[in-house]
Chains A and B, each alone.
Chain A
Amino acid sequence: MSSTAPPIESVTWFGAALRLTVPALRRLMHNRSFVIGAALVLFVALIAIFADLLAPYDPLRSNFRARFVAPNGEHWFGTDHFGRDLLSRVIYGGRISLSIGFFVVVVTGVAGTTIGALAGYFRRLDNPLMRLMDALMAFPAILLAIVISAVLGASVVNVVIALSIATSPHTARIVRGSVLVVREMEYVEAGRALGASDLRLLFGHVLINALAPLIVRLTYVFAIAILAEAVLSYIGVGPPPPTPTFGNIIAGERDFLETAPWTTIFPGLAIVISVLGLNLLGDGLRDVLDPRMKL
């Protein structure tokens, strides 16, 4: 079980990364969850990146004489109530939804790591920072995101901010936990005795230990963000039209669920596939990098 913990005697960023990666990668390639998840995520990501080449139509171009066309050879996913091609909208929607997920991961990664590391390493900061995180975690994350999004106003950037605020506290808690474990270890003590600065120790040595759980957590954050974007759009505080996202396609078409169910089904399936891929990826990473986590 402990075989994945990096050997700590010779920790440098590069060495640790290498020691962490090479055997880990080998084991990851034999992990079925990881492989399937990675394939799904890659598939979705490539579609999002090459949306311009792949989308058969302009996702914003309406044609009110071809509204509610059921899926056929010309429009694989049918058309919506503007007569826009749904496949093209889902493809472009993926680009925005995945970008939102990606930026939430970046912001949460930076904010969560910084807060968690500061709280874990500097005793005086621990209490105020973690009580603030506790206060944020005292609200269901989705409720927190809805309220913040309503406060900031609906836009892609504000959705990223709202979701980052909602997902950072938990991430900070995980990082802090890992930092607490290493902080008192001998080699850190030794580094301190040799006159290494706190910041250098923190970023050079301590954080490496938090890397594995952090990577696992951020994969799940990516999945959570895609789901939450859809919820925010559904409630009416998501990214504004006409730019499509997985969530606001569903939100914009939900009046037509009975008559044009494809307009709700396909974007929903797109969410399921993306999130399933990320969850599988996360499971695989967790099995290999951080087997102590059970959920």
Chain B
Amino acid sequence: MWQFIVRRLLISVPVLALVSLMSFAVIWLVPGDPAAVFLDAGATPQQLAQVRHQLGLDEPFHLQMLAWYGRILHGDLGRSILLNRSVAAAIVERLPVTLSLTALALAFAVAMGIVAGLLAAMRHGGWADQSIMVLALVGLSVPEFWFGLMLIFAFAVRLHWFPAGNFVPINVSFAGWWQSMALPAFTLAAVQMGFIARMTRSAMLEVLHQDFIRTADAKGLPWSVVVARHGLPNALVPILTVIGIVTGGLLGGAVVVEQVFSLPGVGRLVIGAVLSRDFPVIQGTLLFVAVIYLLINLTVDVLYAVVDPRVRLE
């Protein structure tokens, strides 16, 4: 097992090198540069050149690349052109938003997914099973941003139940945070819970057909006790694995959902940076996101290996 983990970590080194190169090089491929964002439509090319010079954008490729690698190897992601702070500070500021959004969405998705999956497995073949499975699949077929817009329309614009896009940090007010996070987290969870529900159902079905469950059942224990005490724990490992995968999906979805609900998270940071060409932020956040993603993938791989030893042979 340890050997497998170490080998996966070693593989990550060249991957990281490639990822950092891609993160850096992307700015040389994008047309347009951040100078334009400082300017109104009536600006002159001279002004553009002046801003570019002030921002150091007119230096040659290799110098900028050397400077960048020099910095990131010291843990310095550089300084944002537009945000008046370091890239690291910008990420750290927004991380709580994205993390709390992801965490809340994951909590929703796990709670709804497991309950729905259990219900479906226990009523296997019945109408509850079928409608849950259809709903789960519909969830997987809905574009997150569109679903978010529909929720804003229904719950914020028409019913006024929730605010739309007034983010409140959790340390300022829990109620405010909950109000501002409930809709976006639900948007994300509604899409991703489908995976968990489906996995829970199939894992449970497999477990419930095994002998010890039949025995427990035969002993006259109530069915709910059988499921809770004997069924679920045995189905937990595949469910945990799928939760790992879903976490990755939630992070990807958060990029878009933060946009819809005007949440100041890492996703909005990176999209905003791409659209305004804030190069240091593009590079820094891409690298940061990639490292987080690599870690999640690694965890999932390890979980897989725990569940299914054949994987390790690969």
Partner of B146, one of A142, A271, A276: A271
* B314 and A295 contact, CB distance less than 8 A: no
Known: A135-B22, A139-B286. A231 touches B149 (CB 8 A): no
A141 pairs with B252, CB closer than 8 A: yes
Interface residue? A230 (CB, 8 A): yes
Residue among A177, A227, A280, A283 having the largest count of chain B Cβ atoms under 10 Å: A227
A118 interface residue (CB < 8 Å to B): no
Residues 220-252 of B at the A interface (beta carbon under 8 Å): 238, 242, 245, 248, 251-252
Is B99 on the interface with A (CB-CB < 8 A)?
no
Are B146 and A230 in contact, CB atoms less than 8 angstroms apart? yes
Q: Is the CB of A138 within 8 A of B137?
A: no
Q: Which of A146, A177, A272, A276 contacts B274 (CB 8 A)?
A: A146
In the complex, whether A209 has a CB less than 8 A from a CB of chain B is no
User: Are B251's CB and A140's CB within 8 A?
Assistant: yes
For chain A, residues 277 to 295, give those with C-beta under 8 angstroms from any C-beta of chain B. Answer: 279-280, 283, 294-295
Closest to B21 in A: A135
Q: How many residues of B contact A (CB 8 A)?
A: 53
Q: Is A150 an interface residue (CB 8 A)?
A: yes
Tell me, yes or no, whether B39 is within 8 Å of chain A by CB. Answer: no
Q: Which A residue sits closest to B290, measured CB to CB?
A: A138
B263 interface contact, C-beta 8 A = no
Query: A261 near B: Cβ within 8 Å?
Result: yes
A280 touches B137 (CB 8 A): yes
Contact between B202 and A276 (Cβ–Cβ < 8 Å)?
A: no
Query: Assuming A141-B252, A151-B26, A230-B143, is B149 touching A254 (CB within 8 A)?
Result: yes
Q: Which of A177, A261, A264, A294 contacts B202 (CB 8 A)?
A: A294
Residue among A147, A261, A279 making CB contact with B141, cutoff 8 Å: A279
B275 beta carbon closer than 8 Å to chain A = yes
Cα of A258 to Cα of B238 in the assembled complex, Å: 43
Q: How far is the CA of A15 from the CA of B275 in the complex (A)?
A: 52
CA distance A192 to B152 in the complex (A): 62
In the complex, the answer to whether A276 meets B137 with C-beta atoms within 8 Å is yes
For residue B1, CB closer than 8 A to chain A, the reply is no
Tell whether, in the assembled complex, residue B256 and residue A234 are in contact, meaning their CB atoms are under 8 Å apart: yes
User: In this complex, what residue of A is CB-closest to B248?
Assistant: A140
Query: What is the CA–CA distance of A257 and B158 in the complex, to the nearest angstrom?
Result: 11
Interface residues of A in 257-275 (CB under 8 A from B): 257-258, 261, 264-265, 268, 271-272, 275
Q: Which of A126-152 contact B (CB under 8 A)?
A: 131-132, 134-135, 137-143, 146-147, 150-151
Within 8 A of B (CB), among A175-230: 177, 180, 223, 227, 230
Find A272's partner among B141, B153, B198 (CB 8 Å cutoff). Answer: B141
Closest A-chain residue to B242, C-beta based?
A295
Q: In chain B, residues 164-216, which have Cβ atoms closer than 8 Å to a Cβ of chain A?
A: 195, 198-199, 202
Taking the closest CB of chain B, its distance from the CB of A258, in whole angstroms, is 5
Smallest Cβ distance from A17 to chain B, in angstroms? Answer: 28
A-side contacts of B248, CB under 8 Å: 140
Q: How far is the CA of A252 from the CA of B253 in the complex (A)?
A: 21
Interface contact A261-B143, CB-CB below 8 Å: no
Asked if B18 lies at the interface with its beta carbon under 8 angstroms from chain A, I say yes
Say yes or no: is A69 at the interface (Cβ < 8 Å to chain B): no
Contact check: which of A137, A258, A272, A294 meets B142 at CB < 8 Å? A272
Going nearest first, the 9 A-B pairs with the smallest beta carbon separation are A140-B252, A135-B18, A275-B141, A276-B141, A138-B290, A268-B146, A134-B15, A151-B29, A230-B143
Between A and B, 13 residue pairs with Cβ closer than 8 Å are A131-B15, A134-B12, A135-B19, A140-B251, A140-B255, A143-B270, A146-B271, A235-B275, A265-B150, A271-B146, A272-B141, A280-B137, A294-B199
